[in-house]
Amino acid sequence: MLYIVTGASGHLGNNLVRLLKMNKEDVRVLVLPNENSDILNNLGVDIVYGNVLNKDSLYALFDLSKSTYTYDDVIVIHTAGIISISSRKDQFMEKVNVLGTKNMLDLSMAYNIKQFIYISSVHAIPEKPNHELITEVTEFDPALVKGSYAKTKAIASNLVMDAYKQGFPITIVHPSGIIGPYDYKKGYMTQMIMMYLNKELSTRIEGQYDFVDVRDVSEGIYKLASNYHLGTYILSGHLISLKKLFLILKTLSGRKRKTAVVSSWFVKIFIPLFSLIGRIYKKPPLFTNYSLYTLKSNSNFSHQKASFTINYHPRPIDETIKDTALWLISEKKLKKPSIISFILKKSNEN
């Protein structure tokens, strides 16, 4: 089988590629022309340079003329996309998440590949009231979800679902909040963990969310692909409060100081300042109106369908956070020798 993976240098993408290669699969990846591909060079993958927004640049990705494969041997896993916690409408994000998905889907259908797997998001699914359990849906409406990112994922999911209803072999995966190691682009949660372990963050807000290990999502995708399961699947993890999350970090790092709790309304006052600082230092802000909303929203996502179908069982959140910290140490992203020593000692004890 030949796996074609877009967004391969991203957090989920590179973890998925690692898993595919561990299982001795042939992998072809799409990388932006000027993007650093160092993390992929040693994985033994075929790298094609192109852009999901430029359809002409994607034909090389589907070219089988120099291989022994047929298109019935090809599985496309489309992970490429822009994740944003901003409340603002972002036209570039909309193009990448919607037009980019349409381009990949159009070519996959034109070549009649074996299976198209689209990595959507739980944010594309309408929120239910009163903490009701959220399960898979078969229709997506951007008017029923909140936030620019969620709307782009709902629009793209609807495009893909239309193809599924027409009989094309489609799988739509809805991960919850992805965390874990090998996040080279330092997403929101990795940045927060890194800042706490470097003693650059000593406050938090109240809230909770469902977080899932990137390796569990990768394994779930691989099982859905290798066993040819079609339809929609939520790959969520564990609903955890920020209070518990920071307690896990405190125990792991040996930090003595208690994390102060700041009210959400107080944080909202400073959101324009956080955004300005983020633009200056070219880093995503820790807090936005949308991130505050998300931490208060219903994130009671069910992965029962995936558990029944592919025996999907996400690992404990403590293990994910520990492995993320160990990866940050290996990447020399942690600065405090005492915390590094404590984490290593704590990990060896376990």
Residue 347 lies in a domain: no
Residue 314 lies in a domain: no
Q: What is the pTM of this model?
A: 0.92
What's the pLDDT at 262?
Answer: 58
Residue 79 lies in a domain: yes
Residue 139 lies in a domain: yes
pLDDT mean over 191-213: 88
What's the pLDDT at 265?
Answer: 41
Q: Are 211 and 177 in contact (CB under 8 A)?
A: yes
Residue 313 lies in a domain: no
C-alpha dihedral sign at 291, 286, 237, 84: positive
Residue 333 lies in a domain: no
CATH code at 231? 3.40.50.720
Q: Are 317 and 211 in contact (CB under 8 A)?
A: yes
Q: What is the pLDDT of residues 73-129, one digit of tens each?
A: 999 999 999 887 665 677 899 999 999 999 999 999 999 999 999 999 999 999 999
Task: Report the number of distinct structural domains present in the chain.
Answer: 1
% of the chain surpassing 90 pLDDT: 72
Residue 204 lies in a domain: no
- Which residues constitute the domain of residue 233? 2-185+210-238
- Alpha-carbon distance of 139 to 147, in angstroms, equals 18
More confident residue, 70 or 267: 70
- Alpha-carbon distance of 107 to 50, in angstroms, equals 14
Q: What are phi and psi of 89, to 5 degrees?
A: -75, 130
Residue 321 lies in a domain: no
The region of weakest confidence among 120-124, 233-237, 289-293 is 289-293
What's the pLDDT at 261?
Answer: 65
Indicate if the pLDDT at residue 38 is higher than 70. yes
Q: What is the pLDDT of residues 256-281, one digit of tens each?
A: 877 766 555 444 444 444 454 455 44
